[in-house]
Amino acid sequence: MKKIFIASDHAGYNLKSKIIAKYLKFKKINDLGPFSKNSVDYPDFAKRLSKKVATNKGSFGILICGSGMGMSIAANKTKNIRAALCYSRKNTKLSRLHNNANIITLGQRLIDKNKAFSLIKIFLSTKFEGGRHLRRLKKI
C-alpha cells in the first residue's frame, strides 16, 4: 500500500480530523499536523508534507486549509510535487489522469466532508494516463 500523508492548517483542522476518522481509518495514513485548532502558518505544513511526498516514491498527500489555494501554491514550490486544488469530480480525475498530481488540496470553507471524501476516493483511485501527458510533464 502506498503511503498517504495528510496535513492542514488551523482552518482545515476539522476537515482533516474527519477525513482521518471516517474515510481513511482503514488505510495507512501519516498525520503531519497540526494536532490542535491553534493558529499556525500553512506554508510550514505544506512544506513538511511536500518533502515527505517527494522523498517517498509513489506516495500521496492531502493538504487542507480554508480555501485550498494557499496549500496548493506552497506545496508546488517543492521539486517533483504536483499539488492540485480539487473542488469537483471532473477536475480531481483530470488532475491525476493528465497531470499525475501527487497531492490533493482541499478547502474546508468551500466543500463539505462528503464532497471531500468523494474527491479523495477519486484522487487515490485514478491512474495517470502517461503518453502525451508525460511528455508535457517533463517540460515543467
Using one digit for the tens of pLDDT, what is the confidence trace for 75-110?
Answer: 999 999 999 999 999 999 999 999 999 999 999 999
Can you give the residue range of the structural domain that contains 25?
A: 4-81+88-137
Residue 114 is part of a domain; what is its CATH number? Answer: 3.40.1400.10
Q: Which residue has the higher pLDDT, 38 or 29?
A: 38
Helix (H, G, I), strand (E, B) or coil at 126: coil
pTM: 0.95
Rounded CA separation 94/100 (Å): 9
98 carries an active-site annotation: yes
pLDDT for residue 26 is more than 70: no
pLDDT for residue 23 is more than 80: no
- Averaged over 34-50, what is the pLDDT? 97
Rounded CA separation 28/41 (Å): 26
pLDDT for residue 1 is more than 90: no
- Among residues 52, 98, 113, 133, the one annotated as catalytic is 98
Q: Which residues contact 73 (CB under 8 A, 6 or more apart)?
A: none
Residue-level pLDDT at 12: 98
As for how many domains the chain has, the answer is 1
